[in-house]
Amino acid sequence: MEWLHEYEKLVIRMNMPRVVIDNAVCPTATLVQVDSGRKTGVLLEAVQVLADLDLSINKAYISSDGRWFMDVFHVTDRLGCKLTDDSVITYIEQSLGTWNEPERPTALEGLTALELTGADRTGLILEVFAVLADMACSVVEAHAWTHRGRLGCLIFLRDEEADTERMVRIEACLDHLLRGDSSAGGAVAAVPAAAVVHADRRLHQLMSTDRDREGASPTPAVSVQSWAERGYSVVTVQCRDRPKLLFDVVCTLTDIDYAVFHGTIDTTGNQAHQEFYIRHADGSPISSEAERQRVSQCLQDTIERRSLEVHKPIRS
């Protein structure tokens, strides 16, 4: 029915994000406001765009009850200044002003990704690349994180050099290398680069699956409390501020199937205070002490992984 088709298009247009970037309201930061119909993962998408531009989010206000979503971010560039580059402002408006999936970097098209996890040790990364060099592999880009004695690594290889038989040999060699004498073992998997939606997010997932939380007591202050009257669980994070802190926290909450309905982020000096009102994907709050402990531990881990240093990609 034609009228129904037109109605559906009208609903889509009405719910498209509206992005406002304002340099006049705040004397110390640029305000980025996003209003839209509610959609799963929309908060992570917004934070991811800002994080990928190396912007600092000094304050933020999040509200997404009912069918509507509104976020206000106070952002500065890496020098602590307002955004004045028109190309950066246009990119933010275009990236946040559509429901389309973010475009993948053309540099990663036609590549195979190797995902590695295992016990870390001195010289391990060097050995991994030595194996790949011996097998005449062309490494286009690589990312590696270590945390509490565990390693997570993404390595992108050219597809034309990654036929099935050869990849089996590569995986076998690297699997043997990662396992070594460690009882904790390791794992290697080859996937199309297109399956890796975002490198940092995938590294968080690899490290979380690898249970890197086993080890020393965590230091970030994370509390998870119940607000039963309103059907929320309240997550509070207090720690030293650093680049991509909000992205890491929102990424973890999303990946363990929680939605943020309200939140405030405030940075004073070098200290960050973040508060989130969350529910599980099915609409329920956290219901047990074991679940509260899991959420707290996952967030402590995700904060610590990037706390000591900024992990940079390795490019050929």
* 45, 145: one domain: no
| Distance separating alpha carbons of residues 170 and 190, to the nearest angstrom | 9
* 210, 251: one domain: no
| Distance separating alpha carbons of residues 69 and 108, to the nearest angstrom | 32
- Report yes or no: 115 and 154 within 8 Å, Cβ to Cβ: yes
pLDDT band, very low/low/confident/very high, at 311 (cuts 50, 70, 90): very low
Mean pLDDT of 26-54: 90
For 150-167, the pLDDT digits (tens) are 888 999 988 665 567 888
* 201, 126: one domain: yes
| pLDDT exceeds cutoff 90 at 75 | yes
CATH of the domain at 280: 3.30.70.260
| Distance separating alpha carbons of residues 100 and 45, to the nearest angstrom | 11
* 206, 225: one domain: no
- Report yes or no: 264 and 60 within 8 Å, Cβ to Cβ: yes
| pLDDT exceeds cutoff 60 at 196 | yes
| pLDDT exceeds cutoff 90 at 214 | no
Return the pLDDT at 64: 83
Which among 29, 30, 38, 32 is positioned nearest to 95, based on CA atoms? Answer: 32
- How many structural domains compose the chain? 3
pLDDT band, very low/low/confident/very high, at 310 (cuts 50, 70, 90): very low
Name the residue with tokens 């073992």.
185
pLDDT band, very low/low/confident/very high, at 4 (cuts 50, 70, 90): very low
- Report yes or no: 276 and 299 within 8 Å, Cβ to Cβ: no
pLDDT band, very low/low/confident/very high, at 233 (cuts 50, 70, 90): very high
Mean pLDDT of 106-123: 81
199 within some domain: yes
| Distance separating alpha carbons of residues 55 and 85, to the nearest angstrom | 12
Mean pLDDT of 52-58: 94
Mean pLDDT of 203-215: 69
> What does the DSSP 8-state code read for residue 212?
T
pLDDT band, very low/low/confident/very high, at 106 (cuts 50, 70, 90): low
For 11-20, the pLDDT digits (tens) are 445 556 789 9
Range of the domain at 92: 13-96
pTM of the predicted model as reported, rounded to 2 decimal places: 0.75
